[in-house]
Structure formats: structure tokens, C-alpha cells
Amino acid sequence: MVEVARELMQQAPKVSGAGDMFQLLRDGRPRTRADLAAVTGQARSTVAARIDLLMAAGLIAPAGEASSTGGRPPATFAFAPSARVVLGVDLGATHARLALTDLASTVLAQRDLPLLITDGPGPVLDQVAATGAELLAEAGRSPGELAGVGVGLPGPVEHATGKPNNPPIMPGWDDADVPAILGARFHAPVLVDNDVNIMALGEHRAAWPDVADLLFVKVATGIGAGIIADGALRRGAQGSAGDIGHVAVPGVTDIVCRCGNIGCLEAIASGLAVANALEGTTTPADVVALVRAGDVAASQAVRQAGRDIGAVLATSVSLLNPSMIVIGGILADAGEHIVAGIREVVYQRSLPLATQHLRIVTARTGARAGVLGASAMAVDQALSSEAVDRLVA
């Protein structure tokens, strides 16, 4: 008996406070008090008290009655995503998309706006704060209901501080305290990450939540990757994990990258690199338009870019063994050509065990990936055990 009890205790998730118990309910499935008592191993009275706290905070709500084999059917409770809202902000070089979402990242109000990241943090974050306030009003929610803000920036971000670190296309932003500046405007916690990481998070949560090991690759003006391993976004020690744009492509010795090194993937295979190499195109969007119009030279150039990206991804596949590679960013809009090029090289250059069940596909969330991921990042913070414990205290 003692053995069995010890085993049960080891198997039971470590659940101490209301915040921990809430994590069990985040999947949205209704549960009874008895269900929660059984899973947590806590007394019914303890569970009942915690349910009351979470109900009072609005985080869970009654979800009808469970079926009963006799007597009065027990009440069930489920996560109430509309309890609070978060703001997702996806900042690009020349545009921004903001979305106000509920706690399940369902979009309640959204705005696309042109802006120039080169205007610097002052004017750009002013615009973000003003637009965020408009979205709150539009959705009929008060500023006090904002539980957090997630921001994606088009450059390297030190994850612990949320500060951009020598971002090449963002003059004036180096070391800018984005969380403090926006936190003062919104009076809510602000989390900042690079655009590729939030896209990876958004695509993973919205399109492939059950895929535990996924590599998201953005191919646009630049190239970068976001790593989902064991179900979570992995940022590395400083936040620069997945920065594959400046990995050297094997065999290229004559192309100098803007970073000063020779043969970087970004200098050879990004949307901008392809646009510069083709006749009559100046932007990645021009390349996509040509491919869609059936232009042979453009299609071949995109396919070759896919092969070059594949050469670098083959190494990533060996290191990380993802079960899925998702290609996003504007060049993914060129259709199958880029994916075909990537598949060609990755399958040829990786060991069979790594590629046996590897799927290589284009992203499903398209231009929404960034705001969805920014929202998910803010939600994860707002609904963490610690944050929920503080909220109900």
C-alpha cells in the first residue's frame, strides 16, 4: 500500500495553489470538483475553495452539469477565455499589425497600419499605444481588462530584458526599453521577442498544436527560424536561437553579406536576394507576383533558393530532429517551388531516421502568425501559475 501511495504521489502533477490548479483547466475541458480532487490528490474542500477563487476572478465559469448515474448531477467548471484581453503587436519594417484577443487568442479587434520602424522607438511605440487604446474601445473592453501585451520586433531581441540588440534595420532602437515604455502606457506586463519567434509560436498554437517538435522558417526580406522543441518555443541562452540567416551556405565563396561575412544564407536565398538577382524585380513581393504569373526564371530562382535553404536546414534537422518544418514569410506565398527545393536537399542530405516522418509544408496562418504568437506569448505570461496566484490573492 505504501508503495502504491508513493507511486501515485510521484505520478500526480505538482499542484499546490489555485494557479497550479488553473493550469489543468486551460485546455478548456469542463471538469467537476471531484475530477479536480482526483487529479490533484487534494481534499474536496481545498478544491472547492480554489474553484471559488478562480470563479471570483472570472478565469473559470460554470459549464453545465456532468452526466450522473443517479442523484443530483455534479456541476462542471471550465476556463473562461473572455475573462481578460491581451494585445498582440507585430511590428515590421514598414507596417504593423495589432490584434486585441481574448485569453484563447481569439481576435476581437484588429488593425493594420503603415509605419516606418526607422522612425525610432518614440514615434513607433506612441502609435502602438494609441492604436491599442482604439482597439480596446472598439472591442468594448476597459484598459483595466488588459492582462498583457506581446510585441514582435524585426530584429534580435535579448529575451530576458525585452530590449533590441543591435538590430540592423532598426536605427535608434538598440537597447530601447520597449517593455518599460509600453508598460507605462498600458499598465500591463509587456513581453518582447523577435518577429520570427512570435511567428513560430503563432503558427504552432493555431495550426499544429499537437506537433511537439517543429521548426518554423521565415523567408522574407531576411531569413530566420523559430524552434519549437518538446512543445515549447526555445530561445537559447540570449534569445538568438534559430538565427540561421547568417549561417554559411556550403560552397559559396563569392557573395558578401551585409553582416560582412561571406556566403550567408540570407545573402543568397532571402526574398530580397532573389529579387536582386532577377531581372525586373526589387522586392520579395515582386518575385512572388512573377512566380504566380508563371514566369520560368522566377520559379527556378525560388526553387534554387529553396535548395540553398535546404542545405542549411539539413544541418538543423540533424541537430534538432523536428517532425515538421513549416515555411512562412512572403516567399512561402510563391507556392510549392520553395518547398520543393527545400525537400529536395533536406531529404537527400539527412539520415533516414531523421526524415522518415518529417513533413515540410508551407505555413497556414500567413500574415496572422505574428499577432497570434504575440498574443499567445502575453497569454502564457498572464495565465502562468504565479500570475494567477497573484490575481486571486
The site for Zn ion (CB under 5 A) is made up of 246, 257, 259, 261, 264
Rounded to the nearest whole angstrom, what is the least distance from the CB of residue 247 to Zn ion in the complex?
A: 9
Rounded to the nearest whole angstrom, what is the least distance from the CB of residue 257 to Zn ion in the complex?
A: 3
Rounded to the nearest whole angstrom, what is the least distance from the CB of residue 243 to Zn ion in the complex?
A: 10
Owner of C-alpha cell 474553484: 51
Task: Specify burial of residue 22 (Cβ count, 10 A radius: 0-12, 13-18, 19+).
Answer: buried
Residues with Cβ within 8 Å of residue 357, at least 6 apart in sequence:
323
Q: Give me the residues paired with residue 214 across strands.
A: 228, 324
Distance, in Å, from the CA atom of 325 to the CA atom of 213, rounded to the nearest integer, reads: 9
Distance, in Å, from the CA atom of 383 to the CA atom of 76, rounded to the nearest integer, reads: 20
Rounded to the nearest whole angstrom, what is the least distance from the CB of residue 265 to Zn ion in the complex?
A: 8
Q: Give the residue with the Cβ less far from Zn ion, 194 or 375.
A: 194
Q: Give the residue with the Cβ less far from Zn ion, 313 or 326.
A: 313
Contact criterion met (CB below 8 Å) for 90 and 374? yes
Q: Give the residue with the Cβ less far from Zn ion, 34 or 259.
A: 259
Q: What is the dihedral of CA 370, 363, 204, 121, to 10 degrees?
A: -10
Q: Calculate the alpha carbon distances from 337 to 16, 82, 111, 155, 278 in Å.
A: 52, 41, 31, 27, 16
Rounded to the nearest whole angstrom, what is the least distance from the CB of residue 270 to Zn ion in the complex?
A: 10
Rounded to the nearest whole angstrom, what is the least distance from the CB of residue 331 to Zn ion in the complex?
A: 18
Cα-only R_g, the chain: 23
Q: What is the DSSP string of 71-113?
A: SSPPEEEEE-GGGSEEEEEEE-SSEEEEEEEETT--EEEEEEE
Q: Give the residue with the Cβ less far from Zn ion, 64 or 168.
A: 168
Q: Give the residue with the Cβ less far from Zn ion, 261 or 318.
A: 261
Q: Give the residue with the Cβ less far from Zn ion, 258 or 292.
A: 258
Q: Calculate the alpha carbon distances from 161 to 155, 179, 238, 384 in Å.
A: 14, 8, 10, 19
Q: Give the residue with the Cβ less far from Zn ion, 189 or 222.
A: 222
Rounded to the nearest whole angstrom, what is the least distance from the CB of residue 330 to Zn ion in the complex?
A: 20
